[in-house]
Amino acid sequence: GESVGLHLPTLSVQEGDNSIINCAYSNSASDYFIWYKQESGKGPQFIIDIRSNMDKRQGQRVTVLLNKTVKHLSLQIAATQPGDSAVYFCAESNTGNQFYFGTGTSLTVIP
Amino acid sequence: KAGVTQTPRYLIKTRGQQVTLSCSPISGHRSVSWYQQTPGQGLQFLFEYFSETQRNKGNFPGRFSGRQFSNSRSEMNVSTLELGDSALYLCASSLGPGVDGYTFGSGTRLTVV
């Protein structure tokens, strides 16, 4: 079956530093990955996605890296800000709209 | 345009009761998926609907059911509620199956006492 795991349940970073959140997935057939951010009391918010034909994709202050060889996904947040404090989930899919989510990493930004 | 709307936002029910949750997708979105989120767990897939048909179903007991209407609005129902059903129930919509990304609603917080 599918399993998506996060290496660290919590991460604390100083404001202004870069953050790296990691995610491992088990299904080598997965071809689409998304990172979501969830703030307290809100639903998950789409951050960035990547397809398996790419290794890297950049957004505004965020970069997603995909290593298909070791089935590893990471989210890099540049110049982390207090507003980045949230739980971050990775999700994988190989069946269209059915996604499998990890348990989440809680990011705390220290002012 | 309006996002995914879930109602109600909060709900308290007693064990053994049933509950119906509602989800209105983004206008034009025809695919709706439901997830259960509990503390310490990731999001667990419940089911997905497209064009009023259930396309996929997760590993939940038959007490969990859903449906989708012709206007793409969806409802999920949980019968014979158990304490363990207490969770945040999230709905997500997209244009259609296989179309990139989901947009999530804010969820319905269900507490079973």
Rg for chain B (alpha carbons), in Å? 13
- Helices (H) and strands (E) in chain A — how many of each? 0, 11
Provide DSSP, B35-76: EEE-TTS-EEEEEEEETTEEEEE-S--TTEEEEE-TTS-EEE
Give the closest of B43, B44, B98 to A96, CB-based: B98
Q: Give the chain B residue whose CA is nearest to the CA of A3.
A: B42
Counting residues of chain B whose pLDDT is more than 70, the rounded percentage is 95
> Would you state the pLDDT for residue A51?
92
Q: Give the chain A residue whose CA is nearest to the CA of B91.
A: A43
Q: Hey, what amino acid is at A13?
A: V
Chain mean pLDDT for chain B: 93
> Would you state the pLDDT for residue A6?
42
Is the pLDDT at A106 greater than 70, yes or no? yes
Query: Cis link prior to B25 (omega < 30° from 0)?
Result: no
Query: B106, A42: Cβ pair inside 8 Å?
Result: yes
Work out the average pLDDT over A2-28. 81
Q: How many CB pairs under 8 A join A and B?
A: 62
> Would you state the pLDDT for residue A85?
97
Over residues A55-93, the pLDDT tens digits come to: 999 999 999 999 999 999 999 999 999 999 999 999 998
Give the closest of B4, B43, B107 to A101, CB-based: B43
Over residues B45-86, the pLDDT tens digits come to: 999 999 999 998 999 999 999 999 999 999 999 999 999 999
